[in-house]
Amino acid sequence: MDSPHSMAPGHIVAIGGAEDRTSDLEILRRVFALAPEGRDEVAVIATASGIPDEVLADYEGAFSRLGASRVHSLSIRDRRQAAEADTLRRIEQSGVIFFTGGDQLRLTNVLGGSPVLNTIRQRLQEGAVVAGTSAGAAAMPGTMIYNGAAADALRKGAVNMTFGLGFVDGLVIDSHFLERGRFTRLMEVGASNPEYLGVGLGEDAAVIIHPNRVLEAIGTGHVILVDSRDLASSNIAELSMGEAVAIEHLILHALVSGHGFDIEERRYLAPDTLAAATRGESA
Amino acid sequence: MDSPHSMAPGHIVAIGGAEDRTSDLEILRRVFALAPEGRDEVAVIATASGIPDEVLADYEGAFSRLGASRVHSLSIRDRRQAAEADTLRRIEQSGVIFFTGGDQLRLTNVLGGSPVLNTIRQRLQEGAVVAGTSAGAAAMPGTMIYNGAAADALRKGAVNMTFGLGFVDGLVIDSHFLERGRFTRLMEVGASNPEYLGVGLGEDAAVIIHPNRVLEAIGTGHVILVDSRDLASSNIAELSMGEAVAIEHLILHALVSGHGFDIEERRYLAPDTLAAATRGESA
């Protein structure tokens, strides 16, 4: 069927945080391998981070080891820097644009509507890979979670959301998902609007979002999918703020490396079917 | 349809821990109200607890306030005490038998096969209510979880299980479920054998297991049900110990007070249908 969502030619990689940056580099290796032929420069954007120099050094080391000809370390601390011509030029040269972790609200607050963000969207249309970890993953969809109760987020209003960076539609992404017990956050989002697939990324786990809107799990951790499309009932609209939300019927999947999911068809893809679904288009 | 599981005439109440013991006593009030007519003595068993005197004093105060004519505080620290005639007599007199929290393995290790446990089973057959919180809830089924990885328990072998106290069949119970992020524990159990319903109890939340095998959620927290009966596939049998488990298709429900679930029919019960399902048999 025709997808209602626009498909960029480039790949998106959303990482759950704490990915290996010093040893096998399993996830970052896949990110780098997805760059278009001959585009081996990498731009790393540390806007989300409170310690940009430290994380930029980490990623510069990692992508250099993987064979990047240049790694552009971009702090981009404010909206003025998000419009600098030199920064735009570095992004235009890059085959990989990578967002570090930190605070996703800082990311959207600084980059929303900026020339840097427009340039990244353009690069994605041209086939570049856009990747991000932790906050950098959470910010990728059109709507993002930026805060939520840790223990029981299944209370009306317990999850705070706003517009994200808009690289991908039709889903919501949460990171550090298993490690921080965030199942109830995606359950609340699912009850509030069952149309959107919940993607919960564990640490050292990631999804590649292929241009044909197939998800592929990579890394050593888990990718949990919370599919609310067949939600049978919920009391959420009747509640006052803070009251406990009831939910009848969500579907859960747990993906590990090599397993996938077709977003449009809501279909789980075991390794053999995943290979068929991504054949000929992956790097 | 006829149930494959035996049904005791008495009610079971499984509480997720940290229930209110000093204010409204909402959950404990329901427990006490389920006692058979005219049986207003309560036996509190603190075998699981490392601080039995402290918790016994708490529950003695709570059940006295609720109108218990006597509260029998039973530490039962070892197997010799689990056979004492005076203890058996106190349990035989009680309309409510209540298990405190602590360590469920201490509970089964001390009580398994004991005269005290046989007497409690007999009381349940005679219509007494058997209730427990935290470890006291987890130990109730025929098979119980006694340990499991906190963060990502969706690894082969990450959940440790053994025989429980055997008060109820067909399900597995986990407590402090939302507060300690235990979704992956019930997911792993579901992958290992999809026949058994996973019941995840939040704090200050509980389920009444009615004699007709209908679950009723009570309290201010959530009861999460992990229903694996329609599991489509999992790699668990092929993995080595410690490897990440993939799961295709589990069903989740989030119950709040007044909502229920029919265990045999695997049917969610909104408040109106729950009332019909429990009419005439509840205290």
**A36 lies in some domain:** yes
Q: What's the N-to-C CA distance of chain A in angstroms?
A: 25
By C-alpha distance, which of B194, B213, B203 is closest to B263? Answer: B213
Distance CA B137, CA A54 (A): 47
Pairing between β-strand B223-227 and β-strand B247-255 as defined by DSSP bridges? antiparallel
Does the pLDDT of residue B72 top 50, yes or no?
yes
- Between the alpha carbon of residue B28 and those of residues B46, B48, B59, B178, the distances in Å are 16, 19, 9, 21
Contacts for B129 with CB less than 8 Å, ≥ 6 apart: B10, B11, B12, B13, B31, B34, B35, B95, B96, B97
Report if residue A204 sits inside a domain. yes
Q: What is the pLDDT of residues B103-136, one digit of tens each?
A: 999 999 999 999 999 999 999 999 999 999 999 9
- Mean of the pLDDT values across residues B14-30? 95
What residues 243-272 of chain A have any CB closer than 8 A to a CB of chain B? 244-257, 259, 268, 270
- Told to judge if A72 belongs to the known catalytic residues of this protein, a careful annotator would answer no
Cβ–Cβ under 8 Å, residues A154 and A245: yes
Q: Name the helix (H) or strand (E) containing A118.
A: helix A115-125
Query: Comparing C-alpha atoms, which of A161, A132, A145, A179 is closest to residue A31?
Result: A132
CATH number at residue A160: 3.40.50.880
- pLDDT tens by residue, B77-113: 999 999 999 999 999 999 999 999 999 999 999 999 9
With respect to residue A2, please indicate whether it lies within any of the assigned structural domains: no
Task: Say if A1 falls within a structural domain.
Answer: no
Enumerate the residues of chain A whose CB falls inside 8 A of the CB of residue B151.
Answer: 178-179
Name the residue of chain B whose CA is nearest to A150's CA.
B179
pLDDT at position B8, please? 77
User: Angle A26-33/A52-65 helices, nearest 10 degrees?
Assistant: 70
What string of pLDDT tens digits covers the 283 residues of chain A?
A: 344 555 679 999 999 999 999 998 999 999 999 999 999 999 999 999 999 999 999 999 999 999 999 999 999 999 999 999 999 999 999 999 999 999 999 999 999 999 999 999 999 999 999 999 999 999 999 999 999 987 788 999 999 999 999 999 999 999 999 999 899 999 999 999 999 999 999 999 999 999 999 999 999 999 999 999 999 999 999 999 999 999 999 999 999 999 999 999 999 999 999 999 997 664 4
Q: Are A278 and A235 in contact (CB under 8 A)?
A: no
- Res B279: pLDDT: 79
Answer whether residue A4 is part of any domain. Answer: no
DSSP secondary structure string for all residues of B11-51: -EEEE-S---SSS--HHHHHHHHTS-TT--EEEEE-TT-SS
User: What's the gap in Å between the CA of A182 and the closest CA on chain B?
Assistant: 7
What would the two tokens of residue B101 be?
Answer: 């929290």
Using DSSP's 3-state secondary structure scheme, residue B199 falls into strand
Q: Look at residue B139 and tell me whether its pLDDT is greater than 80.
A: yes
Residue A43: half-sphere exposure toward Cβ, Cα within 13 Å? 26
Q: Is the pLDDT of residue B283 over 50?
A: no
The pLDDT of residue B7 is 67
**What DSSP line would sit under B88-139, residue for residue?**
HHHHHH-SEEEE-SS-HHHHHHHHTT-HHHHHHHHHHHTT-EEEEETHHHHT
Question: Is the residue at B4 inside a domain?
Answer: no
Asked if residue B281 has pLDDT above 70, the reply is no
In-domain check, residue B117: yes
Q: What pLDDT sits at residue A280?
A: 61
Total domains in chain B come to 1
Listed by number, the residues of chain A in 120-159 with a beta carbon closer than 8 Å to a beta carbon of chain B are 151-152, 154
Tokens of B171: 């399900």
Q: Which residue range forms the structural domain that includes residue B61?
A: 12-276
Structural domain includes residue B46: yes
Mean pLDDT of all residues in B69-82: 97
Give the three-state DSSP class for A110: helix
Tell me whether residue A19 is one of the annotated catalytic residues: no
Closest residue to B246, CB basis, from A232, A245, A256: A256
For tokens 């589990």, name the residue: B250
